[in-house]
């Protein structure tokens, strides 16, 4: 009768395959050592106690996997097999404690000096102590489980089952703590340590019920254990990719700073000299002198803006601060007083920031050069949740906006309008002869 069949009668949950078991143990040990090497590099940079404890825990797990492989490979007597099983179990218990301790300590820092001897010395001493201690009582060690028969429910020695339950608690506590630390963290490895420890905890639950870890049989726990190491491998790969990405970005920033220094010490200084010498020509040909001085001022603005853009780090400054600095640099050159009302909550993306700063420089420069303004007011405000506005208002002599637009006089207005529309946004100019000028950008 087919009605009496269950899932267990159709699907087998255990497979006797010593070679596959050995492959999994070897893969797990290699991944543990790879992630340990990554943590060693992190430790040299961060000097965090968390990285040290994780490093030591993974090294012990790698050694425990090697010991497990020795159980399957060795053609030795029963006493030797018992020694290797209890040694691997002891190492795994200590490793679980170290992982839980790493999650508990958080991101506290270590002492300044760290050496490889100080890192691995305690581990070597621990392994030697376990070998000596277990070897001394090897003749009286109980048989942990029957490695030839398929493990059944709770078929392992009571100490073996208790040790697995203890490691379950360690890994689940570590999973919770790592998950809490991962919130809002950009650390790729820490963000995956929580899920990895969950897999390790459930693997230990399976080993407590069906102790297949030290046998020739493959169970669900073996798959979960390998999944734990594969998640760690993914975290390590992301960490390596992020590290080299940061290295490339640091190299680009350093090269930009070098170019900024070259521009500042070379081009900017030469342009400043040309401007100072051009001032002596005012008595000979005033109109031409004014055009030359205007060109020098615009070139200096361009060069200084390039120096600031390249010399700045990747972190963006508040928009209000950059607007203030850009306006102050131009206003100070012409001796114009500034009044600022800048809302620090107003933000803009990289392209919009560039356009806004160019508009501010152009508006302040035009007000000082052509409008002969003595005072400027700059406002940066949030009109609504979706709209922001930049206003530059001066007390200069003003001009006829309609005539300037229809006759296409001056490139400044056209440039500011095109930059505003490209943000995308709207551009508006209000002015009349003798009444000053107001430039308004809304985006």
User: What are the pLDDT digits (tens) for 223-279?
Assistant: 899 999 999 999 888 888 887 877 777 677 677 777 776 676 667 666 776 777 676
**Greater model confidence, 297 or 433:** 433
pLDDT-derived band at 54, boundaries 50, 70, 90:
very high
CA proximity to 88, closest of 163, 169, 173: 163
CATH of 317-443, one of 3.90.700.10, 3.30.565.10, 3.40.630.30, 3.40.640.10: 3.30.565.10
Rounded CA-CA distance 209/238 in Å is: 34
DSSP for 148-183 reads SSPP-TT-S-HHHHHHHHHHHHHHHHHHHHHHHHHT
At residue 312, the pLDDT reads 61
**Greater model confidence, 284 or 196:** 196
Contact status, residue 380 vs residue 342, Cβ threshold 8 Å: yes
Indicate whether 76 pLDDT > 50. no
Going from N- to C-terminal start, the domains of the chain cover 12-249, 317-443
- Give how far Cα 175 sits from Cα of 102, 171, 260, 298, Å: 11, 6, 47, 59
Residue whose structure tokens are 């270590």: 110
At residue 149, the pLDDT reads 66
At residue 5, the pLDDT reads 43
pLDDT-derived band at 88, boundaries 50, 70, 90:
confident
Which stretch, 76-90, 159-173, 282-296, 422-436, has highest mean pLDDT? 159-173
Span 80-91, average pLDDT: 75
DSSP class of 264: I
CATH 3.40.50 fits 12-249, yes or no: no
At residue 252, the pLDDT reads 73
At residue 2, the pLDDT reads 42
- Give how far Cα 36 sits from Cα of 29, 211, 227, 330, 399, Å: 10, 27, 17, 55, 71
Task: Say yes or no: do domains 12-249 and 317-443 share a fold.
Answer: no
Which residues on adjacent β-strands are paired with residue 380?
A: 342, 390
At residue 212, the pLDDT reads 78
């Amino acid at each position: 009768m087919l009605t009496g069949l269950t899932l267990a009668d159709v699907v087998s949950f255990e497979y006797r395959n010593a070679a596959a078991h050995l492959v999994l143990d070897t893969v797990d040990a290699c991944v543990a050592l790879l992630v340990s090497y990554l943590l060693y590099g992190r430790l040299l940079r961060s000097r965090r106690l968390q990285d040290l404890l994780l490093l030591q825990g993974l090294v012990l797990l790698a050694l425990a996997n090697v010991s497990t492989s020795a159980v399957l490979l060795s053609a030795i007597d029963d006493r030797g097999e018992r020694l290797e099983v209890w040694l691997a179990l002891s190492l795994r218990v200590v490793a679980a404690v170290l992982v839980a301790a790493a999650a508990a300590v958080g991101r506290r820092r270590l002492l300044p000096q760290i050496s490889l001897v100080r890192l691995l010395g305690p581990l070597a001493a621990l392994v030697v102590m376990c070998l000596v201690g277990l070897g001394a009582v090897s003749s009286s060690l109980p048989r942990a489980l029957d490695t030839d028969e398929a493990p059944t429910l709770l078929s392992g020695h009571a100490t073996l089952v208790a040790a697995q339950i203890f490691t379950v608690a360690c890994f689940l506590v570590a999973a919770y703590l790592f998950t809490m630390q991962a919130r809002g963290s950009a650390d790729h490895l820490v963000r995956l340590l929580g899920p990895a420890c969950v897999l390790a905890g459930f693997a230990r639950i399976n080993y407590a019920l069906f102790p297949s870890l030290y046998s020739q049989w493959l169970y669900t726990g073996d798959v979960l254990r390998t999944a734990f190491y594969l998640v760690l491998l993914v975290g390590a790969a992301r960490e390596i990719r992020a590290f080299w990405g940061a290295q490339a970005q640091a190299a680009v920033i350093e090269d930009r700073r070098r170019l900024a220094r070259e521009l500042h010490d070379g081009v900017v200084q030469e342009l400043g000299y040309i401007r100072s010498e051009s001032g002596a020509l005012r008595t000979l040909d005033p109109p031409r002198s004014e055009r030359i001085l205007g060109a020098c001022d615009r070139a200096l603005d361009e060069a200084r803006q390039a120096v600031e853009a390249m010399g700045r780090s990747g972190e963006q400054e508040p928009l209000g601060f950059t607007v203030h600095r850009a306006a102050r640099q131009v206003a100070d050159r012409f001796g114009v007083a500034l009044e600022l009302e800048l809302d620090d909550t107003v933000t803009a993306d990289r392209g919009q920031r560039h356009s806004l700063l160019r508009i501010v420089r152009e508006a302040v420069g035009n007000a000082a050069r052509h409008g002969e303004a003595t005072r400027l007011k700059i406002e940066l405000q949030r009109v609504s949740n979706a709209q922001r506005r930049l206003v530059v208002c001066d007390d200069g002599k003003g001009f006829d906006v309609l005539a300037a637009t229809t006759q296409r006089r001056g490139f400044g207005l056209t440039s500011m309008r095109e930059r505003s529309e490209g943000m995308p946004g709207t551009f508006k100019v209000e002015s009349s002869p003798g009444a000053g000028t107001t430039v308004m950008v809304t985006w």
